[in-house]
Amino acid sequence: MTTVVIIIVAVVLVAGLGYFLVRARTGGGHGLRRRFGPEYDRTVARHDGDRKAAEQELAERVKLHGHLRERPLSQEAREAYAGRWAAVQEQFIDSPAEALAEADALLARLARDRGFPDGTGFEEQTAALSVHHAEQVDGYRKVHTAVRGRGGTEEMRKALIESRDLFDVLLGHAPDEPVRPDRQRTDGRTTA
């Protein structure tokens, strides 16, 4: 009887140790929530509240794309992208739908040029982006959705503004880099 109890305790200890090692390696729920921020909540909602399924998906993203190292852009490429984005913003006034389509394509090209996969499409690219830029990737999703004809002009405007965060991060702006004058408003806030 004592031998059976010792075997059961040993099995429980080994299983518990294995569980904690797997959770530590994947970041566990708290680590994934901290790493992915709003992307964690969006993924849980997409899995109808099933945190385990959402965490499994996010852990798989980290496994697939966590090793990715972003390629730097040359100064010329940064300036060209900044110029194209400025043109998109100007185009929005007269042609919001076309401007959003260009913003969507511009973000996809910029992500590709920084080393993110073109993959089999938008979902693979946003999965990779979410591993490295979880706080900004939702704006890209909103632009992509708006391009597909979902939403009015105000939704398109908001999507373009939110996607600017991902654009800036991919462009390689350092957090301590000053805001460009074309983005500064008189009230001290920045524009898209």
- Give the residue numbers spanning the domain of 26: 2-65
The answer to whether the beta carbons of residues 136 and 39 sit under 8 Å apart is no
If one compares 121 and 82, the residue with the highest pLDDT of the two is 82
190 inside domain: no
Q: Are residues 58 and 114 in the same domain?
A: no
Q: Are residues 87 and 177 in the same domain?
A: yes
Q: Are residues 85 and 45 in the same domain?
A: no
**What span, in angstroms and rounded, lies between the C-alpha atoms of 73 and 64?**
23
Q: Are residues 115 and 166 in the same domain?
A: yes
- Give the pLDDT confidence of 22-65 residue by residue, as tens digits: 554 444 567 899 999 999 999 999 999 999 999 999 999 999 99
pLDDT of res. 135 = 93
The full 3-state SS of 2-70, as one line of letters, equals HHHHHHHHHHHHHHHHHHHHHHHHHCHHHHHHHHHCHHHHHHHHHCCCCHHHHHHHHHHHHHHHCCCCC
Q: Are residues 170 and 144 in the same domain?
A: yes
Is the pLDDT score of 190 beyond 50? no
The answer to whether the beta carbons of residues 104 and 142 sit under 8 Å apart is no
Q: Are residues 136 and 85 in the same domain?
A: yes
70 inside domain: no
Q: Are residues 80 and 50 in the same domain?
A: no
114 inside domain: yes
Q: Which of 14, 38, 65 is the last residue of a domain?
A: 65
Q: What is the total count of domains within the chain? A: 2
39 inside domain: yes
The answer to whether the beta carbons of residues 100 and 115 sit under 8 Å apart is no
Is the pLDDT score of 178 beyond 50? no
**What span, in angstroms and rounded, lies between the C-alpha atoms of 113 and 93?**
28
Q: Are residues 153 and 61 in the same domain?
A: no
Cα→Cα distances 106→46, 87, 100, 101, Å: 27, 11, 10, 9
Q: Are residues 87 and 179 in the same domain?
A: yes
192 inside domain: no
Is the pLDDT score of 186 beyond 50? no
With bands split at pLDDT 50, 70 and 90, how would you rate the model's confidence at 120? low
Question: Comparing C-alpha atoms, which of 75, 85, 83, 78 is closest to residue 192?
Answer: 85
With bands split at pLDDT 50, 70 and 90, how would you rate the model's confidence at 152? confident
Computed over every residue of the chain, the mean pLDDT equals 83
How far is C-alpha 70 from the chain's CA centre? 14
Is the pLDDT score of 153 beyond 60? yes
Q: Are residues 24 and 112 in the same domain?
A: no
Q: Are residues 83 and 165 in the same domain?
A: yes
What's the token pair of residue 108?
């996809």
